[in-house]
Chain A
Amino acid sequence: DQQVKQNSPSLSVQEGRISILNCDYTNSMFDYFLWYKKYPAEGPTFLISISSIKDKNEDGRFTVFLNKSAKHLSLHIVPSQPGDSAVYFCAASGASSNTGKLIFGQGTTLQVKP
């Protein structure tokens, strides 16, 4: 039972363009969402998060949008840079889980071409 899904295994964009990474979830109890970036042979690095009380959160080139009715979130990177090439994971947690454990999607590999 995959509660968090990233249906696109890979995405390729040109440098300077927008990258849009998508994530869907099934558990309506999730109320906190995060995006992590992972380079090969390294642990995931936190990028940006959003609480369910918001529908948008922005941090520099990164913006996360949350559509609760559609149970969908997306990460926008503008402008994309070659250094953004990595695997991106979305993750979710719920207040009902008092441990704060994260449920991760399968990841999307982003390639930004110079």
Chain B
Amino acid sequence: GAGVSQSPSNKVTEKGKDVELRCDPISGHTALYWYRQRLGQGLEFLIYFQGNSAPDKSGLPSDRFSAERTGESVSTLTIQRTQQEDSAVYLCASSFWRTQETQYFGPGTRLLVL
């Protein structure tokens, strides 16, 4: 496909379980971002990857959150020991690497922690 894809589209889990979210960026996009949108709020930056550079993890809310990216392809966001406040839509975006480049978003993964 031509756009950013994410899986699963929806995830319901129990408090304390681990979850893994996946993002496939647009081919050729070297920059990849994860954002989170809680109910009624704006998007909140989580983490950024660019090629083989060290990721910018400054937005991760706790050490329960981690992410990986292999080269310039798929990224996974892992949340360990999920809490109810982790419930949100997790959005992935990709772009070419230059400043002031448009970021293109995937449809998001809706995570509900019971």
Interface bin, chain A: 20 to 34
Is there a chain A Cβ closer than 8 Å to B114's Cβ? no
Chain B interface residues toward A at CB < 8 A: 4, 6, 31, 33, 35, 40-45, 48, 50, 56, 59, 91, 93, 95, 97, 99-108
User: Who on chain A is nearest to B55 by CB?
Assistant: A99
Q: Indicate the member of B50, B56, B95, B100 with the most A CB atoms within 10 Å.
A: B100
Task: Write the nearest CB–CB distance from A105 to chain B, whole angstroms.
Answer: 5
Q: Say yes or no: B44 contacts A43, CB within 8 Å.
A: no
CA distance A62 to B93 in the complex (A): 23
| B42 engages A45 (CB within 8 Å) | no
Complex Cα distance A100/B47, Å?
11
Q: Once bound together, how far apart are the Cα atoms of A104 and B45, in whole Å?
A: 9
Cβ-neighbour of B42 out of A4, A34, A100 (below 8 A): A4
